[in-house]
Amino acid sequence: MGHISSRARPLTVLCVAPIVVLGFCLIVSARAGIRGRGKYCGVVVFDHWDTCFLLSGPYITYISGAVKDDLRPYKGIAMQVDALDVIQPMNPGDALIRKYKIIGLAPDVPHSVTTEGLEFVVRDDFGPNGTPAFVVEVRNAGKRLVAVAPREIGFTLLGLNHVNGFTASDGDSVAWITRANPMWPGAERESTVGDTKYSASYAIDPNTRLAADLQLEPNRSAQIRITFQVPPGHYEFMVGYGGGVHEGKSLASNAVIFEVSDGGLASLSR
């Protein structure tokens, strides 16, 4: 699955609608995000399918299955690696690291968003109708006022990797939705593999959209409700915050694994 976006500058959208389409031809980034050799940071994630990647806010950098085990002891920790062999099937798009050296913990970067004291918690909100919906809670568990940057919050929906030549993941899963944040009301993307068309979309409850200048007092929180429309299958949803691709320390929420039935009903899975 390809994901078209750029961190550095806003996107130029070639259509105007309540739901923005994330198709290959409908969104163009103002500047391509080239992924080459160098330092990468992110929380080390091994998902439900044991695919490994670095989650850095809205961005994913996949780690090849052939070399992922060196990072297994650091699962859930924000790390920095020196990538020695990187491929990027689409530009802009996610990358796959095929060779790297572990540097250590992801550093604090001056002038970046603060992660100190913040926690992100995801819980399902399927309700009696089985709607694939979730509540994302942003908590200030620290002792000081913290500014939260909604543009640095990244929604990541993982699903099976249907190889189409454009995915950076060489594992069994890939991000169906990524580079999405609560500043967008929603988005949809489509991909065709052979004769099958896949579509995935999300929408943010407008009553839970975060202010661009959100500040949280100690022991206070804010919530975002997000709803997905996806084909039947198994999925994993989590949230990242801060860090950027090459930058510094980031956070990751818990992951919720769920499945959607042929009738569109969501339920938790293990």
Q: What pLDDT score does 89 carry?
A: 77
pTM, two decimals, is 0.83
> What is the C-alpha to C-alpha distance for residues 66 and 237, in angstroms, rounded to an integer?
24
- For residue 6, what pLDDT is reported? 29
Neighbours of 255 (CB within 10 A): 17
Low-confidence residues of the chain: pLDDT under 70? 1-34, 163-166, 185-195, 245-246
- Rounded to a whole number of angstroms, the CA Rg of the chain reads 17
Domain boundaries, the chain: 11-268
Written in H, E and C, the secondary structure of the chain is CCCCCCCCCCEEECCCCCCEECCCCCEEECCCCCCCCEEEEEEEEECCCCCEEEEECCEEEEECCCCHHHHHHHCCCEEEEEEEEEECCCCCCCEEEEEEEEEEECCCCCCCCCCCCEEEEEEECCCCCCCCEEEEEEEECCCCCEECCHHHEEEEEEEECCCCCCCCCCCCEEEEEEEECCCCCEEEEEEEECCEEEEEEEEECHHHCCCCCCEECCCCEEEEEEEEECCCEEEEEEEEECCCCCCCCCEECCCEEEEECCCCCEEECC
CA dist 251 → 138, 152, 206 (Å): 11, 10, 25
For residue 199, give both structure tokens.
């579509």
Backbone angles phi, psi at 25, to 5 degrees: -100, -5
For residues 219-239, b (16+ Cβ closer than 10 Å) or e, as one string? eeebbbbbbbbbbeeebbbbb
Within 10 angstroms of residue 84's Cβ, the number of other Cβ atoms is 12
What does the pLDDT read at residue 183? 73
